[in-house]
C-alpha cells in the first residue's frame, strides 16, 4: 500500500468540491451538468453535484484503496487509485465550463 499521506491528499482532492460549494455557493449556477454525452445532457442541483457526488466518489476511492478485491481488482491494478481524483477534476472542469454556456 502506498503512503497514507498520498491517500489523504487524494481524499482531499475528491472532497474539494464540497469546500468550493461551502465558500462559493452564491456564485455557483443553480444547476450543473452531471452527465454529458452524444445527444444527452442531464442537469442536477448544485448541491447534488458538489456534495453528494464527491461523497459517493470518496466511498468508491476507499474501496479501491483498502478493499480492491470487492471490485475484482488484482493487486497490480490497485495502483490505479490515483485515477478517480484525476477524473473528478476533469469532470468538474467540464461541468463548470458547459454549465456557464
Percentage of the chain beyond pLDDT 70 is: 86
What residues make up the domain containing 28?
4-99
Q: Please enumerate in sequence order all residues whose Cβ is within 8 A of that of 91, keeping only pairs 6 or more positions apart, or say none.
A: none
* Residue 21 near residue 51 (C-beta atoms within 8 A): yes
Sign, CA torsion 74/77/82/85: negative
Q: What is the pLDDT of residue 46?
A: 86
Ranges 25-29, 54-58, 70-74, 83-87: which has the least confidence: 70-74
- Decide if pLDDT at 57 tops 60: yes
CA 34 to chain centre: 11
- Decide if pLDDT at 51 tops 60: yes
Give the residues across from 1 on adjacent strands.
none
The Cβ of residue 62 has, within 10 Å, a number of other Cβ atoms equal to 14
- Decide if pLDDT at 78 tops 80: no
| Single pTM value for the model | 0.77
C-alpha cell at 95: 461541468
The CA distance from 33 to 54, in Å, is 14
Helix 53-66, helix 83-99: angle, nearest 10: 160
Q: What is the pLDDT of residue 68?
A: 72
- Decide if pLDDT at 101 tops 60: no
Number of domains in the chain: 1
Amino acid at each position: 500500500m502506498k503512503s497514507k499521506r498520498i491517500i489523504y491528499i487524494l481524499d482531499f482532492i475528491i472532497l474539494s468540491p464540497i469546500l468550493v460549494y461551502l465558500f462559493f455557493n452564491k456564485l455557483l449556477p443553480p444547476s450543473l451538468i452531471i452527465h454529458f454525452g452524444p445527444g444527452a445532457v442531464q442537469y442536477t442541483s448544485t448541491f447534488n453535484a458538489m456534495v453528494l457526488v464527491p461523497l459517493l466518489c470518496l466511498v468508491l476511492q476507499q474501496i479501491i484503496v483498502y478493499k480492491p478485491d470487492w471490485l475484482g481488482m488484482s493487486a497490480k491494478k490497485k495502483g490505479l487509485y490515483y485515477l478517480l481524483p484525476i477524473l473528478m477534476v476533469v469532470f468538474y472542469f467540464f461541468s463548470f465550463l458547459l454549465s456557464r454556456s
